[in-house]
């Protein structure tokens, strides 16, 4: 287990963006069961999941997780992270909006207290001190335990910390950037150093680059499936060069490419728990194995060198 302030979390965070989307309710609950039975306890979702699906209004993932929690005796040991600010109907970090969205998330999840509540994205239209004040109030009221920052730049994380400290408000405990072998620049150009200097847990998302790093897509073929639009940005010659290196290391170790991609991420400085999702129980063991696999210095170097264009 790793620590995010007072929270003890597993070395892999299970992404909930697929619940109610590419994984229906029954499959989602089976995935959650298998994850917890394997020792996982850290689950990530958002109120905006899955508004990108035609006919969905958002909150589908939270509702699936909430339904699962209601019949789990180990629910108290599960750490739930959700987010506010990116729902297309309830966008932004206005104090009133945060409170309305939190009430909805708590209702769907069936929780009185959210363990980790992220600002899903920055909001330049609201004074920082105002939304920081709301997070501080929510912690004092017991509505949330901690808060974090998702999709914030290094400069803005520094500003948030400075303002919160100056005003005597609660500080964020976690940062959630996109980070993987084909998306490295924002973390390695400054955000990672900020997290390290302020002892912020880094919980990167898209650990498998929307499935690209599982080797399910072939060079020269157009990406297919529900995540195709997200994968196209990775499916370049440089991206497939990285994937070739991942597959090479996976063959050496006798593991799946997904295991290698997440193991590389886990071994990067400051990473507390990579976030990755699966659409079926059968895909889960490859993710869980990343917590047990330790890449050699040579293997890490080879992967990092292959992904230099993305650094």
Q: Residues near 147 by Cβ (< 8 Å), separated by ≥ 6?
A: 116, 117, 118, 119, 135, 138, 139, 170, 172, 173
CA distances to 47, 109, 115, 276 from 106, in Å: 10, 5, 11, 23
CB 185 within 8 A of CB 156: no
* Opening angle at CA 196, ends 200 and 239, nearest 5: 95
- Of the candidates 13, 12, 17, the one whose C-alpha atom is nearest the C-alpha of residue 47 is 17
For the question of residue 206 being annotated catalytic, the response is: no
Cis peptide before 158, with omega less than 30 degrees from 0? no
Q: Give CA–CA dist 128/124, Å, rounded.
A: 8
Residues 179 and 187 sit within 8 Å (Cβ to Cβ): yes
Give how far Cα 225 sits from Cα of 182, 241, 311, Å.
Answer: 20, 22, 28
d(CA 9, CA 2): 5
Q: Which of 49, 117, 206, 217 is catalytic?
A: 49
From the number of C-beta atoms within 10 Å of its C-beta (0-12, 13-18, 19+), residue 208 rates as: buried
d(CA 135, CA 146): 8
Catalytic residues: 49
């Amino acid at each position: 287990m790793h620590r995010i302030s007072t929270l003890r979390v597993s070395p892999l965070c299970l992404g909930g963006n697929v619940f109610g989307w590419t994984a229906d309710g029954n499959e989602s609950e089976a995935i959650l069961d298998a994850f917890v039975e394997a020792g996982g306890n850290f689950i990530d979702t958002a109120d905006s999941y899955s508004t990108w699906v035609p006919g969905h209004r958002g909150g589908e993932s939270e509702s699936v997780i909430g339904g699962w929690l209601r019949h789990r005796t180990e629910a108290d040991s599960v750490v739930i992270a959700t987010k506010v600010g990116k729902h297309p109907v309830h966008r932004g970090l206005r104090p009133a909006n945060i409170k309305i969205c939190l009430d909805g998330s708590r209702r769907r999840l069936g929780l009185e207290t959210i363990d980790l509540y992220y600002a899903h994205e920055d909001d330049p239209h609201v004074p920082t001190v105002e939304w920081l004040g709301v997070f501080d109030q929510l912690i004092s009221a017991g509505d949330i335990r901690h808060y974090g920052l998702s999709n914030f730049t290094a400069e803005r994380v520094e500003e948030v910390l400075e303002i919160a400290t100056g005003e005597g408000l609660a500080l964020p405990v976690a940062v959630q950037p996109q980070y993987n072998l084909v998306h490295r620049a924002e973390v390695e150009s400054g955000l990672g150093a900020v997290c390290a200097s302020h002892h912020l847990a880094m919980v990167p998302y898209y650990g498998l680059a929307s499935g690209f790093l599982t080797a399910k897509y072939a060079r020269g073929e157009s990406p297919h499936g529900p995540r195709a639009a997200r994968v196209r940005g990775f499916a370049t010659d440089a991206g497939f060069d990285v994937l070739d290196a991942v597959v090479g290391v996976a063959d050496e170790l006798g593991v799946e490419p997904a295991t290698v991609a997440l193991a590389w991420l886990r071994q990067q400085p400051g990473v507390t728990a990579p976030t990755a999702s699966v659409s079926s129980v059968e895909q889960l063991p490859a993710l869980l194995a990343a917590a047990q696999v330790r890449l050699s210095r040579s293997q890490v170097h080879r992967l990092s060198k292959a992904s230099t264009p993305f650094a």
